């Protein structure tokens, strides 16, 4: 009997061990990208204006850059229901929202946020000036129909209810910090006061906004680094890391000066100005995910960068590094596997390792890709068509903002060291 008991126990142990998968730590990244058409599709253009309630005493507005509020109703007793919808579907689950509320007399209002068929990905940020944002106090946040998953969209509530102290001065309620095309241009202009930085248009978006390119160059060196960001409008944290990265490369340190003695830097900080200013969840105003259009180039935004790169290469430029900044559920790197890029691609992995050594406080997973054709995404196009060792540099939606800044700075310093060694 005892023998049988131990035999059964042994069998159970073997079976349970077999079923035990190694525990993966952190965000493991998205799967292979499906090949999709990038021919333009209809987009629902958002109505913009002011909603007025309670005998003209309470107001909501989406009428500003990056604003998104598709509808709002009053349920009585200072309770409102907001509807947030996407520009078109199918679309990635990143329900962006941004609106203002104010009232003639101070009061506490409750807003129920609904996202059509999606869920509440972005934790609300609050601001009174549209420049400085803080996360909503958690005491004023209630998740409804909480997710059942451990991670990603399945782990967030379907609906949220937030409490806001409204007064005559408008309060902004946004998915992430606001960086519309005007604010981004102000940042570019502030850097362009340096003698070695110039800005010019390389094309127009579908709605004729400027595709601005920033050139950091103290003379033609014919070796260059290419950086882009914000193909996806809500991905502000990627933009913030990119901003710190560019500020470091164009800074006054001896390292940065030496870098600029050997390399030029080209930056398109806002790849999707229409999507950003219209408060889109993902797409441009052609209804397309721009980071699937680097094969067929059906969209003007991707075409402008393609034409720029072709022109620079015809002028004799060699691109030595390319980075595309994005945001997702957590920090992650998507380089191209060295079985594809060989010795040339090693710099990307050295770079990742060097950044990790300097920032041990936050582990970042690496997911190398072997699929580079059809090119579809910028990173593949950069490598396949221009020989650039390239990476998709992803930051988490909720990565602390001071850490994003530090990561951008460290990433720039480590890249300058590696490129200096190559020179």
- Which residue in 112, 283, 292, 326 binds Zn ion (CB under 5 A)? 326
Torsion 405-132-130-327 (CA) sign: positive
Strand 79-83 and strand 107-114: pairing? parallel
Minimum CB distance to Zn ion, residue 179 (Å): 15
Segment contacting Zn ion by CB under 5 A, of 124-132, 215-223, 325-333, 369-377: 325-333
Nearer to Zn ion, 232 or 306 (CB): 232
Q: CA angle, 234 as apex, 375 and 325 as ends, to 5°?
A: 45
Nearer to Zn ion, 290 or 416 (CB): 290
Nearer to Zn ion, 119 or 326 (CB): 326
- Rule CB under 5 A: is residue 121 a binding residue for Zn ion? no
Distances (CA, A) of 206 to 274, 288, 311, 377: 7, 11, 21, 19
| Cβ atoms of residues 362 and 406 within 8 Å | no
Segment contacting Zn ion by CB under 5 A, of 58-66, 177-185, 281-289, 323-331: 323-331
Contacts of residue 311, Cβ cutoff 8 Å, sequence gap at least 6: none
Within 182-221, the residues that bind Zn ion by CB under 5 A are none
Minimum CB distance to Zn ion, residue 234 (Å): 9
Nearer to Zn ion, 127 or 380 (CB): 380
Q: Residue number with the shortest CB distance to Zn ion?
A: 326
Segment contacting Zn ion by CB under 5 A, of 13-21, 83-91, 176-184, 320-328: 320-328
Nearer to Zn ion, 260 or 326 (CB): 326
Minimum CB distance to Zn ion, residue 232 (Å): 4
User: What is the x/- site pattern for Zn ion, positions 226-265, by CB under 5 A?
Assistant: ------x--x------------------------------
Nearer to Zn ion, 164 or 241 (CB): 241
Q: CA angle, 290 as apex, 350 and 382 as ends, to 5°?
A: 35
- Tell me which residues touch Zn ion (CB under 5 A): 232, 235, 326
């Amino acid at each position: 009997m005892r023998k049988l008991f131990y035999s059964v126990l042994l069998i159970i142990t073997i079976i349970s061990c077999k079923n035990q998968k190694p525990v993966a730590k952190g965000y493991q990244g998205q799967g292979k990208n499906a090949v999709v058409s990038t021919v333009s599709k209809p987009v629902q253009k958002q109505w913009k204006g002011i909603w007025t309630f309670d005998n003209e005493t309470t107001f909501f507005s989406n009428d500003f850059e990056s604003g998104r509020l598709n509808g709002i109703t009053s349920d009585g007793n200072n309770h409102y229901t907001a509807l947030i919808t996407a520009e078109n579907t199918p679309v990635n689950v990143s329900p962006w929202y941004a609106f203002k509320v104010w009232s003639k007399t101070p009061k506490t209002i409750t807003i129920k946020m609904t996202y059509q068929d999606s869920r509440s990905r972005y934790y609300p940020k609050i601001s009174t000036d549209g420049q400085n944002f803080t996360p909503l106090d958690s005491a004023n946040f209630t998740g409804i129909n909480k997710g059942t998953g451990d991670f990603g969209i399945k782990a967030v509530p379907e609906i949220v209810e937030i409490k806001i102290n409204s007064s005559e001065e408008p309060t902004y309620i946004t998915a992430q910090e606001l960086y519309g095309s005007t604010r981004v241009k102000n940042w570019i202009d502030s850097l362009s006061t340096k003698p070695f930085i110039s800005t010019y248009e390389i094309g127009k978006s579908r709605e004729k906004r400027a595709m601005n390119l920033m050139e950091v160059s103290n003379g033609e060196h014919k070796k260059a680094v290419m950086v882009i960001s914000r193909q996806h409008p809500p991905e502000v944290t990627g933009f913030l890391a990119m901003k710190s990265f560019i500020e470091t490369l164009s800074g006054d340190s001896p390292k940065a000066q030496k870098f600029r003695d050997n390399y030029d830097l080209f930056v398109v900080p806002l790849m999707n100005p229409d999507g950003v200013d219209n408060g889109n969840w993902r797409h441009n105003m052609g209804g397309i995910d721009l980071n699937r259009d680097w094969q067929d180039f059906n969209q003007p935004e991707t075409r402008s960068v393609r034409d720029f790169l072709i022109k620079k290469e015809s002028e004799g430029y060699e691109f030595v590094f390319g980075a595309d900044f994005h945001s997702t559920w957590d920090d992650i790197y998507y380089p191209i596997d060295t079985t594809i890029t060989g010795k040339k691609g090693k710099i990307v992995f050295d770079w990742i390792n060097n950044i990790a050594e300097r920032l041990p406080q936050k582990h970042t997973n690496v997911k190398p890709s072997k699929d580079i054709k059809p090119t579809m995404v910028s990173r593949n196009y950069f490598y396949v068509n221009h020989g650039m060792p390239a990476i998709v540099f992803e930051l988490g939606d909720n990565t602390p903002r001071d850490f994003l800044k530090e990561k951008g700075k460290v990433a720039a310093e480590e890249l300058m060291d590696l490129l200096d060694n190559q020179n």
